[in-house]
């Protein structure tokens, strides 16, 4: 009879408790599918006596996650603490060095230290698995690393932060302002303790950097991700986009071009009829385009106890079955350092601005755009408010560099009330 696979779980929050529940409730199913029993030897968390709704008294307790990671009765260290450094990184390194496999849901740690940890895992012939780190219950890591391994991936894009998608779709459905829905989401517990990780695009950018490395065979380059949050999006942008047949999403896009690797996480307009445009609430979606498979779409819960714990257990089962794969799809020492694209692929842009209501104001804006080589596809002027004229412009395809040149020049025209809002219109 096969020996049990013994886990040490560090972090007993929502996901950790979900993992404990699955192991208890699905014991027979797991043993049948993995060919061996899955057990828990020991656990660790900040507080021992907290009521978690599940009894952990049957497991050994370690105050120090590093001690947990190096226990003799632990085969797989399950890291669910979070944080890019500190105890999570120290315990993960200790586990790999001690010959333990690691399963983690920690996107920040992988986005910043992924190359280091991949090298350490492979040097010790151990698995480092992280399905739960990106898009919750969606099996995007397995899809890229295994199911699509025969494809030259051309683009990866998606909505990877459910909190932001909730805010944007709620603004549209309820006609509420960003500030009102932000407060609502925060009260419901949808946002991180530091909300800027969500609404600032940082959480989603961590995920995009991981997917980019796996898709293109490159070293993880979180610093190369261009990040813009959703704080600039107003209810009028939501309405204008809808009028034109678009919806606004915090969209991550990674693609390898002749100019280098593009990685950007920013609010964009996408066609309302597209799968991304139809995505509602806190759901995540990842779209992958490959040389032979074409475009595939994966949609599902991006967070929560059940979906994320499900992803953790998928990794645990792979280890139980003896599956060993390079961390980022190919040996860590073969991952290329991709040059960062200095300019993004040209695209149309949505511009919203308020102009001082005086003769020639609109002509000055058109001149500035023309001097930057940007042509106007369509333009709409809304009813004046006091002495201001709200204007909406959609450009033909242009580069962000040219658009930035035009935006800088607008400041000196004397006709712009506030800095214009500029959102890319992404083809999907």
Burial class (CB in 10 A: 0-12, 13-18, 19+), 179: exposed
Torsion of CA 356, 360, 364, 366, to 10 degrees: 100
- By CB neighbour count within 10 A (0-12 exposed, 13-18 middle, 19+ buried), where does 210 fall? buried
Annotated catalytic residue, options 207, 249, 364, 397: 207
Structural tokens at position 272: 């309302």
Structure tokens at 91: 């315990």
The yes-or-no answer on residue 207 being catalytic is yes
End-to-end Cα distance, the chain: 51
d(CA 376, CA 204): 32
Measured from the Cβ of residue 67, the count of other Cβ atoms closer than 10 Å reads 14
In sequence order, the 6+-apart residues with CB closer than 8 A to the CB of 213 are 114, 219, 220, 221, 328, 335
Please identify every residue annotated as catalytic.
207
């Amino acid at each position: 009879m096969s020996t049990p696979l013994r886990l040490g779980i560090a972090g007993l929050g929502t996901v950790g408790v979900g993992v404990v529940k699955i192991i208890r409730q699905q014991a027979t199913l797991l043993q049948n599918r993995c060919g061996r029993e899955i057990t828990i030897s020991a656990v660790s968390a900040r507080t021992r006596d907290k009521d978690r709704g599940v009894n952990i008294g049957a497991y050994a307790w370690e105050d120090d996650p590093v001690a947990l990671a190096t226990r003799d009765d632990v085969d797989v260290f399950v890291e669910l603490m979070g944080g890019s450094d500190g105890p999570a990184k120290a315990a993960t390194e200790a586990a790999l060095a001690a010959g333990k496999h690691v399963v983690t849901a920690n996107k920040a740690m992988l986005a910043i230290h992924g190359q280091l940890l991949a090298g350490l895992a492979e040097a010790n012939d151990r698995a480092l698995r992280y399905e739960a780190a990106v898009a919750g219950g969606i099996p995007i890591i397995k899809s890229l690393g295994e199911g699509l391994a025969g494809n030259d991936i051309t683009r990866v894009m998606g909505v990877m932060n459910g909190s932001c998608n909730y805010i944007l779709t709620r603004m549209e459905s309820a006609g509420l302002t960003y500030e009102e829905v932000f407060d609502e989401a925060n009260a419901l517990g949808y946002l991180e303790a530091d909300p800027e990780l969500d609404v600032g695009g940082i959480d989603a950018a961590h995920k995009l950097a991981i997917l980019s490395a796996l898709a293109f065979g490159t070293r993880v380059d979180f610093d190369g991700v261009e990040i813009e949050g959703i704080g600039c999006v107003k209810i009028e942008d939501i309405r204008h986009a809808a009028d034109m047949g678009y919806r606004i999403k915090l969209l991550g896009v990674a693609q390898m071009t002749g100019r280098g690797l593009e990685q950007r996480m920013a609010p964009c307009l996408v066609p309302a009829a597209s799968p991304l445009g139809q995505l509602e609430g806190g759901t995540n979606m990842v779209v992958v385009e490959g040389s032979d498979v074409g475009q595939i779409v994966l949609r599902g819960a991006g967070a929560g106890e059940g979906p994320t714990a499900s992803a953790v257990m998928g990794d645990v089962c792979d280890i139980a079955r003896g599956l060993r794969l390079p961390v980022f799809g190919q040996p860590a020492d073969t991952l290329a350092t991709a040059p960062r694209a200095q300019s993004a692929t040209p695209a149309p842009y949505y511009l919203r601005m308020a102009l001082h209501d005086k003769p020639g104001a609109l002509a000055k804006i058109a001149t500035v755009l023309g001097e930057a080589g940007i042509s106007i596809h369509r333009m709409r002027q809304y009813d004046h408010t006091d002495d201001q004229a709200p204007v909406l412009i959609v450009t033909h395809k242009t580069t962000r560099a040219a658009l930035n040149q035009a935006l800088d020049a607008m400041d000196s025209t004397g006709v712009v009330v506030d800095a214009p809002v500029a959102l890319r219109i992404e083809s999907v």
